[in-house]
Amino acid sequence: MNENTSKMAAADYRLVPDSTNYVESAHAHLNARTNIQLPLLSAIISNKQSDDRDVDEVDQIETGAVIANDNNGLGQRERAMAQRMRSKVKQRALREENVGEYLALEAEEAAGDRAWSASLDREKLLKEQIASLRRSRADSAKLRIKALQKEVKAGSDARRVWRARKGVIKEKMKSLRADELHGVRIPRPAPSDGTIHLSFNFVSSDKDADTDQGAEDVEPMVPSNPDDPLGEHSDLRYPSVR
């Protein structure tokens, strides 16, 4: 018989296999699940367990919309879910470690830049003192000049070392942002409070003041009325606000 001479519908005819190989393979599959050459009671229990697994898989398909197979049973899915959770925890720990390293590099860079600025200011002051001491003919002035020049050179060497270190920091931060932290939002620590701190720097207008010693330190005045920090001294100028 063939499709043209058969009285079966063409669609139904194409669904019917050409041989009994499928049935024979089903026997082999069932024997692998239930075993062979068993006593009658053991065979009945083994077959019932196999049927229970089939019922459980059908129930999972109907309730969870998941088609179970040899690699997608309940146990396999639970193991896969546990593995995914372990992977997520590991990835999160690695991400937090990389974020911590990035923030530490940022803090080191900021601290280094502040030290750089302070070193330049210190060098400027030392050079002014050296220029002032050169006008003196005392032997002690020469010794003082040598000590100040040595300090200037030490500051210059320290800045040279920091320049190289800053290049390494920049490269490492760039590598982290391009690889491990690509697309990751870096958390920024929130300020402790909203208090605005004012720094009052008063510079003496006396032109005869000793420039080598620097401006006289003046204690900042604390306003008696917090709502009106200027108060009766509204004519004073505050050069810097931090």
Three-class HEC string of 187-226 = CCCCCCCCCCCEECCCCCCCCCCCCCCCCCCCCCCCCCCC
Q: Which residue has the higher pLDDT, 161 or 5?
A: 161
Say whether 232 sits in a helix, a strand or coil: helix
Phi, then psi, of 226 in degrees rounded to 5: -60, -30
Given a cut of 80, whether residue 146 has pLDDT beyond it is yes
Confidence of residue 128 (pLDDT cuts 50, 70, 90): very high
Q: Please give the Cα distance from 52 to 29 (Å, whole number).
A: 16
Q: Please give the Cα distance from 157 to 148 (Å, whole number).
A: 14
Q: Which residues contact 47 (CB under 8 A, 6 or more apart)?
A: 34
Phi, then psi, of 146 in degrees rounded to 5: -65, -40
pLDDT at 199: 40
Q: Does residue 50 contact residue 38 with C-beta atoms inside 8 Å?
A: no
Which tokens belong to 80? 């896969």
Q: Please give the Cα distance from 166 to 174 (Å, whole number).
A: 12
Q: What is the pTM of this model?
A: 0.46
Which tokens belong to 239? 């050069």
